[in-house]
């Protein structure tokens, strides 16, 4: 225990974990959470049948059902079930970042972002699957880094497993994972053509793992295309997606004026960081591995966003901002690495304070 407490990052994780658990004692639920609580009263077979007629895969609900069976249907216990993946994400984030980047600073920033950003705090205490989504998709990204650097067989198998778990948690996680897989596979092929066999094996394992739910998932997509509560893609929807990582208004409608005022703040910060990193990458002829990594971390979130918008415009709107949640762990990882590239400590601190200031503004607006 003394050894654990000697590590400042462990103390940070413990502090944030306690804070998030305390938030679980707010018993209020919104519509989708109430639906989750209701189906926990069904027997297992009836619950799976009901989920199959809805729009989500079963993994989160199966895990929650096990917890309810063991500890009873208490709102606080069910909410703590959503805190668990955030705690795990902070812990494995620390482990992988220290192994890959050899940096306590990057690990500390990442832990603060995934633990204390209001968007993450909000989803960490919801009776929904989003905190599990960010865990599995971000875990895939960490494992992808390990595969690229070390190529161990264990990491390849875990990478396939994380992809399967993500797909069984939320249907849009499949798109998130496609971007993660695509980035890794291209990076491996550029590194050495001998990795083609590994790519094929990982892909085959993932596809076979998801096969049992594939037909039901296809039916769910068809049902959504025929009947869903979204009617159009408008500027407010796109604005909510753009500011989602820095915003706590996950379910509330945002007045257009508020969007116009506050959309510039987080976008300005991330855009400036992107420009700094891009300049570093170009100046170093794409040889700065950290800078390259930051640019890649933008792809899953903005790629998923573009998919959702284009699908909505061409076929039918079925995408809302909170579906991006699976990718913001990777986005925040890139943000943490990007901040570490800023040479002056004052600028690093200013960037971090700016991010949290923006969140406090949006949180205060939510409570009014």
Q: Which domain holds residue 126?
A: 2-367
Averaged pLDDT score across all residues of the chain: 83
Query: What pLDDT is stored for residue 14 in this prediction?
Result: 95
Q: Give the pair of three-digit tokens for residue 263.
A: 């959309």
Q: Indicate the burial class of 178 (C-beta count within 10 angstroms; 0-12, 13-18, 19 or more).
A: middle
Cα-to-chain-centroid distance, residue 192: 29
Q: Are 308 and 323 contacting, i.e. CB atoms less than 8 angstroms apart? A: yes
What whole-number percentage of the chain has pLDDT above 70?
78
Report H helices in 24-103. Answer: 31-39, 44-52, 59-71, 75-100
Residue 205: half-sphere exposure toward Cβ, Cα within 13 Å: 17
Average of pLDDT values for 40-52? 90
Higher pLDDT residue, 183 or 264? 183
pLDDT tens figures, 270-308 = 666 666 676 666 666 566 678 889 889 999 999 999 999
Higher pLDDT residue, 270 or 335? 335
Higher pLDDT residue, 256 or 168? 168
Percent composition of the chain: helix, strand, coil (DSSP 3-state, to 5): 80, 0, 20
State pTM to two decimals: 0.87
Q: Are 352 and 339 contacting, i.e. CB atoms less than 8 angstroms apart? A: yes
Count: domains in the chain? 1
Where does the pLDDT of residue 236 fall: very low under 50, low under 70, confident under 90, or very high at 90 and above?
A: confident
């Amino acid at each position: 225990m003394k050894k654990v407490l000697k590590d400042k990052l462990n103390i940070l994780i413990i502090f944030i974990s306690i804070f998030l658990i305390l938030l679980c004692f707010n018993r209020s639920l919104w519509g989708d959470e109430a639906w989750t609580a209701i189906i926990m009263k069904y027997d297992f077979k009836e619950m799976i049948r009901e989920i199959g007629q809805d729009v989500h895969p079963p993994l989160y609900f199966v895990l929650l059902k096990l917890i309810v069976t063991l500890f009873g249907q208490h709102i606080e216990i069910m909410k703590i079930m959503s805190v668990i993946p955030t705690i795990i994400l902070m812990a494995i984030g620390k482990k992988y970042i220290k192994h890959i980047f050899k940096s306590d600073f990057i690990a500390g920033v990442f832990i603060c972002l995934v633990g204390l950003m209001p968007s993450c705090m909000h989803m960490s205490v919801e009776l929904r699957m989003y905190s599990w989504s960010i865990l599995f998709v971000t875990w895939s990204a960490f494992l992808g880094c390990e595969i690229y650097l070390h190529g161990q067989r264990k990491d390849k198998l875990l990478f396939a497993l994380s992809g399967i778990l993500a797909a069984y948690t939320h249907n849009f996680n499949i798109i998130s994972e496609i971007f993660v897989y695509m980035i890794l596979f291209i990076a491996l092929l550029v590194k050495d053509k001998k990795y083609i066999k590994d790519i094929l094996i990982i892909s085959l394992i993932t596809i076979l793992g998801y096969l049992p739910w594939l037909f039901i998932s296809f039916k769910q997509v068809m049902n959504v295309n025929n009947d869903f509560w979204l009617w159009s893609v408008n500027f407010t929807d796109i604005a909510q997606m753009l500011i989602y990582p820095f915003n706590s208004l996950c379910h509330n409608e945002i007045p257009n004026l508020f969007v116009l005022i506050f959309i510039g703040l987080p976008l300005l910060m991330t855009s400036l960081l992107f420009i700094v990193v891009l300049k570093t990458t170009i100046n170093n002829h794409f040889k700065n591995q950290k800078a390259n990594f930051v640019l890649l971390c933008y792809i899953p979130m903005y790629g998923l966003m573009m998919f959702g918008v284009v699908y909505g415009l061409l076929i039918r709107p079925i995408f809302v901002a909170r579906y991006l949640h699976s990718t913001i762990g990777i986005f925040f990882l890139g943000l943490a690495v990007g901040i570490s590239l800023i040479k002056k400590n004052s600028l690093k601190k200013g960037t971090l304070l700016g991010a949290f200031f923006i969140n406090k503004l949006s949180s205060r607006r939510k409570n009014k």
